[in-house]
């Protein structure tokens, strides 16, 4: 039996001496994490993939404005589907830390492109880990962006580090592979390889096709007369929604912990899509009354206008009905806790979307009216 190599005795560099590589730097989390690490004085490198249109909007301010931070973000071309590019980038950067945030991250889309999702979201992780091993970068710390989707259909809550997995989508199945291979590189090769099992986290930088941002953007646009109706899928689904910058802080704590391990990161509160929607519309001064059932359910404003309707195209072949995390271990061992409540999260996102279309943030709106059923 092969023994894992002994842990390195080399001193861990101070933050401002650290070189860090992020995959997924153009995404919601990557952009907040890059900001955070640059502010610490780290040398931050981001892998960017080729796109036919601009895909760096979330990080433009980090590499265009030299006054923002003294060390600027460096971008390198690569793709998690291309092992040679992963290898070449790691060889060039020789990072102290790698955060693997890159993924085909949309659950519904993963049912349409399961093979691609497995390749990028699943095998992408082993490409990075194996390149680190091949290059002898066994001191490099590795963070894998694992997900509460791993619990999927487990039907038991709250979910913590001991809860078994039950993936309910090609995305979740790919993330399960990435989770286990990360743990395996820790056990087999003694690498400092960690998993953050993060529950849903949102922000004004959230992609527009995820449900929270779809709702806050629509609420802002409907209030401004730019859109008539918002079409949604399953309003009953419940998620444990937190604020992305808080979750990026948890990632850093996980990677800088004394021991490599896996941690759940969550708020410990769960809300339905309907509740999120009600809170968002109330924030723009359009409290909703709900009527009808199933596909016929509607969200109606005080003037009788139907603002929210159901469209079955947004239902998933297999749904994750309830996620609720128990992050007590992260709180105890890493000193992490969320700083933004559900209501504050909704307000931050709605206000940003109102501002983005040239409006002003609304004053506190009255509480939403009770549901009809
Ligand atoms: P996101 O906004 O969708 O960002 C995904 C990132 O991955 C983008 O930078 C994207 O690049 C990049 N990417 C996609 N395909 C790639 C490829 N083939 N090669 C290299 N990069 C590729 O996701 P996020 O919300 O920031 O989430 C970050 C990570 O955490 C993801 O792995 C996600 O699955 C996971 N996660 C997210 C949550 C959450 O609630 N946000 C919870 C748990 C886990 P483009 O900009 O070019 O598309
Ligand atoms: O869906 C329901 C939908 O797409 C949330 C990713 O970051 O978090 C995210 O995955 C819920 C689901 O996020 C619509 O059926 C209703 O139950 O915003 P979502 P997600 O699937 O939870 C996890 C933790 C990740 O790891 C993922 O990368 O909302 N829902 N109506 C809808 N969802 C969408 N997208 N659009 C709708 O119209």
Q: Dump pLDDT digits (tens) for 121-147.
A: 999 999 999 999 999 998 999 999 999
Check whether 366 has a pLDDT greater than 60: no
Is residue 17 within 8 A of residue 200, CB to CB? The reply is: no
Mutate to test the pocket of ligand 1, among 22, 23, 25, 27 (most ligand atoms within 8 A of CB): 27
Pairing type for strands 298-300 and 289-291 reads antiparallel
> Are residues 186 and 215 part of one domain?
no
Mean pLDDT throughout 230-239? Answer: 98
pLDDT in tens, 24-59: 999 999 999 999 999 999 999 999 999 999 999 999
Q: Which of 98, 105, 190 minimizes the C-alpha distance to 144?
A: 98
> Are residues 227 and 188 part of one domain?
no
> Are residues 215 and 194 part of one domain?
no
- pTM exceeding 0.75: yes
Q: How many domains does the chain have?
A: 2
Q: Where are the alpha helices (DSSP H) in the chain?
A: 28-39, 60-64, 83-93, 107-110, 114-117, 124-134, 170-189, 211-223, 244-255, 273-283, 328-334, 342-356
262 occurs within a structural domain = no
Helix axis angle for 244-255 and 28-39, nearest 10°, is: 60
Question: How many beta carbons lie within 10 A of that of residue 287, not counting itself?
Answer: 18
Element (H, E) at 89: helix 83-93
User: Residue 163 maps to which CATH number?
Assistant: 3.40.50.720
Pairing type for strands 201-202 and 289-291 reads unpaired
User: How many Å is the Cα radius of gyration of the chain?
Assistant: 21
User: Residue 366 maps to which CATH number?
Assistant: 3.90.25.10
Pocket around ligand 2: residues whose beta carbon is below 6 Å from it? 105, 107-108, 147-149, 199-200, 209-211, 214, 232-234, 237, 239, 273, 314, 316, 319-320
114 CA from centroid of ligand 1 (Å): 16
Ligand whose nearest atom lies closest to the CA of 318: 2
> Are residues 283 and 176 part of one domain?
no
Q: Which domain holds residue 187?
A: 17-198
Residue found by looking up tokens 């004053």 in the block: 363
76 CA from centroid of ligand 1 (Å): 16
d(CA 240, CA 360): 28
139, 172, 198: which is the final residue of a domain? 198
Lowest mean pLDDT among 3-12, 232-241, 274-283: 3-12
């Amino acid at each position: 039996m092969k023994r894992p190599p002994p842990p390195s005795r080399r001193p861990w560099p101070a933050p401002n001496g650290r070189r860090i590589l992020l995959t997924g730097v153009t995404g919601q989390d990557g952009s907040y994490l890059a900001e955070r690490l640059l502010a610490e004085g780290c040398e931050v490198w981001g892998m960017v993939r080729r796109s036919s249109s601009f895909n760096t909007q979330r990080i433009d301010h980090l590499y265009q404005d030299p006054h923002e931070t003294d060390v600027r973000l460096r971008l390198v071309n690569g793709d998690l589907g291309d092992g040679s590019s992963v290898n070449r980038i790691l060889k060039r950067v020789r990072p102290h830390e790698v955060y693997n945030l890159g993924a085909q991250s949309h659950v519904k889309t993963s049912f349409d492109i399961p093979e691609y999702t497995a390749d990028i979201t699943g095998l992408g992780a082993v490409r990075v880990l194996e390149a680190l091993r091949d290059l002898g970068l066994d001191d490099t710390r590795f963070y894998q962006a694992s997900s509460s989707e791993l619990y999927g259909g487990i039907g038991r809550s709250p979910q913590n580090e001991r809860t078994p997995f039950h993936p309910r989508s090609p995305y979740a199945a790919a993330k399960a592979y990435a989770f286990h291979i990360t743990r395996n590189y820790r056990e087999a090769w003694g690498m400092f390889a960690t998993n953050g099992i993060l529950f849903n986290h949102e922000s004004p930088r959230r992609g527009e096709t995820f449900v929270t941002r779809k709702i806050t953007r629509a609420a802002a646009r409907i209030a401004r007369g730019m859109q008539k109706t918002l079409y949604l899928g399953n309003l009953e689904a419940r998620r444990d929604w937190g604020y992305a910058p808080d979750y990026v802080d948890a990632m850093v704590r996980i990677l800088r912990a004394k021991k490599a391990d896996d941690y759940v990161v969550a708020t410990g509160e769960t809300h339905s899509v309907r509740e999120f929607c009600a809170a968002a519309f109330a924030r723009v001064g359009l409290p909703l009354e709900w009527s009808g059932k199933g596909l016929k359910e509607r969200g109606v404003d005080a003037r009788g206008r139907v603002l929210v309707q159901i469209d079955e195209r947004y239902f998933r072949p297999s749904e994750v009905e309830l996620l609720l995390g128990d992050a007590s271990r992260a709180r105890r061992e890493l000193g992490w806790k969320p700083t933004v409540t559900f209501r504050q999260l909704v307000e931050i996102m709605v206000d940003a979307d109102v501002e983005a279309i040239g409006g002003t943030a609304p004053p506190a709106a009255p509480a939403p009216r009770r549901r009809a059923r």
